[in-house]
Structure 1
Amino acid sequence: MSGVRAQLATVWLGESSVLDLLLVTVLAGGHVLLEDVPGVGKTTLAKGLARVLGVAFNRVQFTSDLLPADVLGGSVYHPGDGRFEFVAGPIFTDLLLADEINRAPTRSQSAFLQAMEEGQVTADGVSHPLSPLFTVIATQNPIDFDSTNPLPEAQLDRFLIATRLGYPDAAAERSLLGEYRSAPPLVPVLDPAGLLRLREQSREVYLHPDLAHYVVALARATREDARVRLGISPRGAMHLAEAARARALLHGRSAVQAEDVRALLHPVWDHRLLPRQGREHDRRITAALLDDLTAGVPLPR
């Protein structure tokens, strides 16, 4: 994956940790939520990732009048022979950019995220499987922007990772006005078959029982504290283990280390934890609480 990362670094001028999180998501077979203001490179990054991975790419702009069928597809009636034919929607791709997902009505959000979780779309009683490589990069604006519908906690829990991109530094922003525009085009480094093999390798990365116990202890600590309204679900614990395996593979290791778990705590869990006090969906409050909760769980030796 070093070649993929090097290619992406030519079009992404922000924090390099963002690239690592995207690659962890892809290797683990999960989905990622990018929470940030417009114009910081979310679409460029998603298109670039699809290009270097050599996979198919689609984009859906979520709006207030978006219907589930606009994303999933639906049955079309042919009056000539009296039959219905399923017409696939843009969700039938390898990598899908769901842009501004929190601008869509809740019905469309729910239908989309259900298909995302189940890996299939059902129409007229017939199931249509999605691509085995299906990955969603969803973006959402800050919740105090106009015409936004925050994702419910149950739907947020389906995202493996949630992170913010942030603004580039001054030097990187200046390069956007000059030499960045003459950068060579991205070239594919992988293909679908190669990515599937890497995902299989990620699942085979060894997780020591002590580290598995550590992950469970961390999750249970978030559920048993009076300051927490909604703690980490079992799915959240599974996602952390899967992401840790992918990070170990990304760094060329065949076994998970404690640093993999610790490095991914906030990207994998911050969006799932709901404190009793403080502004809802404020990641700073959530991150501070998560640090306090997990500090009391000893690292395995």
Structure 2
Amino acid sequence: MKKDKKGISRRNFTQLSAAALGSIPLMGFDKSLLNTRPNPNDDIKVNLFSKHLQFLDYNEMSEAAADMGFDGLDLTVRPKGHVLPERAAEDLPKVISTMKKFGLLPTMMTTNITEANDPQSRQVLETASALGLTHYRTGWLTYPEEKTIQQTIEVHAQKLAALEVLNKKLGLYGGYQNHAGNHVGAPIWDIPQILKNTSSLHMGCQYDIRHAVVEGGSSWQLGLRLVHSYISSIDIKDFKWGQKDGKWQPINVPLGEGMVDFDSYFKLLKKYKINVPVSLHLEYDLGGAEHGGSKITIDKKEVFAQMKKDLTFLKNAWQQAE
């Protein structure tokens, strides 16, 4: 039987089911006691963002991800996702069970959660914790025009601090993604301010190198230096600048074909001793799969081939970065 590094049976732990949710708040069981960060030179664990397999059911999705060589799935547990938040207690156990059948690890999910006191959000997190998931991405935060940037930062800092309290109780690691555009987290410098009331362990950052390079150009290394201690997970994609409809804009491309310097990036991650769960995103043309379409316009074998190609590039680039 496979055991965790501290000798706890992983099978016994992940056999918790939604039926046990009522006891979760009383358990105070902190999975951080069971987790230590892998050696930065170890292989990375790559999860496929399930948004790109939205055209498949749980069984087909899990089988495809396993066949391609992924370690797990970054499950969409949000509106229009593989699991709807209001049905998390019923459907999340089903998809986790299916994933395990194909040898996939239940590690990551992407949510729309921003409030610790929202009943539906609490149920999603309690369900995820009971099923052995450990990392999740929060929902988006905004900068409303009627408040100053600093006023909004203070409000968001309180929200994420409250989420960290809940995360710690449930043994979860939340991450807010930096996203290019007029979004909270886009300039990078605001992330430490928003996370200033947290320990950065149970509520941190899901770092996105694609968006960091879009916003930071050649200074993205400084942004990474600023936030590296907050990184709890990362997502991976690539882009290049180009013209579309007469306007210059970022155009998404397969890994290695764009402007992201993966060798420099991975060398810095290893320097900072960061080896955290990875979510692979494919935002370029995949017949609608890139947008989470429930139907696609190309053969699914073409989609799978490109996913495997990006996965191979990613793992090779990580191994070669020294």
TM range (shorter): 0.3 to 0.5
| Higher Cα radius of gyration | 1
Q: Given the two structures, how large is their TM-score scaled by the length of structure 2?
A: 0.32
More relative contact order, 1 or 2 (CA 8 Å, 6+ apart): 1
If the length of structure 1 is used for normalisation, what is the TM-score? 0.33
